Amino acid sequence: MASIDRYIVERNATQVRTAFAGIVKLAKEKGITRVTLIVPKKGGWEHSIVGEFLGAGVAKPLTKGQSVTLVEGITMVFESPQTFRPTAAQGLLVGVHISTKDMARLDDAWGAQAILFLPWSDNESQEWKATWHPTTFGQKGPEAPANMLSEPVQEALVRLTESINLGTGLNHPSDKKHA
């Protein structure tokens, strides 16, 4: 099985605009003719950030199950995680504000030529990036710090682990007192 190229557009004010510029560029470069947009829920989607960006002329036909032409030779279809079938997926898969659990279904699509993720939160972004090491379109988000604990908390944990028997838990009265 060939490796699938993965891309991410991190959360920022221009995320959607950057994503659609990247979608068209990527599709043209890789000869992709079909883009599948996967959003959390189909109901009310046309009023989301992406639906409003695309406009009613594109969002309404997508919601009705019709394909739309993005640019000449590139069509886009619309799915939700509930209707998406990894075995039937092909072309460029675009996960828009879906969970990393739902994104895993896209990652399992063996017919995909490329996958693009627009995370809803920085945590989802960090998790997916750590797994797939995707290419970033647009602004890069913050890197996850190696240690997220403050200095006083780190010192307290060191003192605690030095003073109690970690092999037995908090069974000894002096261990409980230190904790």
Both 117 and 177 in one domain: the answer is no
How high is the mean pLDDT in each 10-residue block of the chain (179 residues)?
86 94 95 96 90 94 94 93 88 96 93 95 91 90 59 77 61 56
Both 126 and 160 in one domain: the answer is no
Give me the number of domains the chain comprises. Answer: 2
Both 161 and 128 in one domain: the answer is no
CATH of the domain at 117: 3.40.50
Structural domain harbouring 162: 145-179
Both 58 and 124 in one domain: the answer is yes
Contacts of 125 (CB under 8 A, 6+ apart): 8, 10, 11, 117, 119, 141
Identify how many contiguous H helices and E strands the chain contains and give both numbers. Answer: 7, 7
Both 43 and 64 in one domain: the answer is yes
Is the pTM above the cut of 0.85? no
